[in-house]
Amino acid sequence: MAGYLLSERDMGRVSRVVRRVEGQVDSLGTTGGDSRLMIPQPVSITFYNPTSETIPAGGIMAITGAALADKIPYLTISKPSATFVRSYAVNGDLPVEKEKFGQCYTSGWVRFAYDTGTPANGDCYGAKPSQWTASANYPAILDCFGILDSTDKIALGYLHPIDHIIGKLAGALGEGNYATVNVWCGAGNSEAVITSMTVTAYDWLMKSGATDIASGKKVVVDWINGVPYVTEAECP
């Protein structure tokens, strides 16, 4: 059978095509071109780890801001804490040591690290203070679809900002005013306050002259146009 001999020009074209295809595969979230893990993922962004700890693969990070290094943007992050943060990022597939740069995701399909339990389709996971792993029934940032690796505790979920919380007023809320809300979380009928975590929420729905919503009342807070509003409240 006769063979074919490619010219240097043709070899260059083939090489470019291969690199392009491999790049498309990697953009779907594969690891090292492993087609068994073709899970679509959004484009990653660089972040800097300023903590004294190594952030694990799939670790949950609070987004604190953005900065530039050699004109390249990157995220500034911190370990989840009792300070309320609406938007979180998830570290990529490699651990990131202290004072190093890494790649993370801020939305979309992600592989995330969880602490305990068996994440199942329909569960919601959130950032728990003082740990890098997500925890069930905390203010939701991850809509879970199931476990990918039970040994290393990695699950698949959809990452998004916090849009709703429940809590109790730390002070009275008057018409057209604002008040501090103590954030609560937990499984149904087992809710508890998250120590020291608060949100400043605003009124939009109370009619003029309405009686204040008393301190200690249960409320639901929704983010609308980037503003946290009390949209429901416990009856007087």
Query: CA 119, 230, 188 angle in degrees (round to 5)?
Result: 30
DSSP 27: T
What the block records as the tokens of 57 is: 């693969």
**Strand bridging mode 164-169 / 192-202:** unpaired
Tens of pLDDT, residue by residue over 31-47, are 444 444 455 567 899 99
Average per-residue pLDDT for the chain: 88
Q: Tokens 């505790």 label which residue?
A: 153
Determine the pLDDT at residue 235.
Answer: 85
Q: Are 41 and 110 in contact (CB under 8 A)?
A: yes
pLDDT along the chain (236 residues), means of 10: 46 45 42 49 89 98 96 96 98 97 96 96 97 98 97 97 98 98 96 97 96 98 98 91
Phi, psi for residue 51 in degrees, rounded to 5: -80, 175
Who contacts 198 (Cβ-Cβ below 8 Å, separation ≥6)? 84, 170, 180, 181, 182, 183
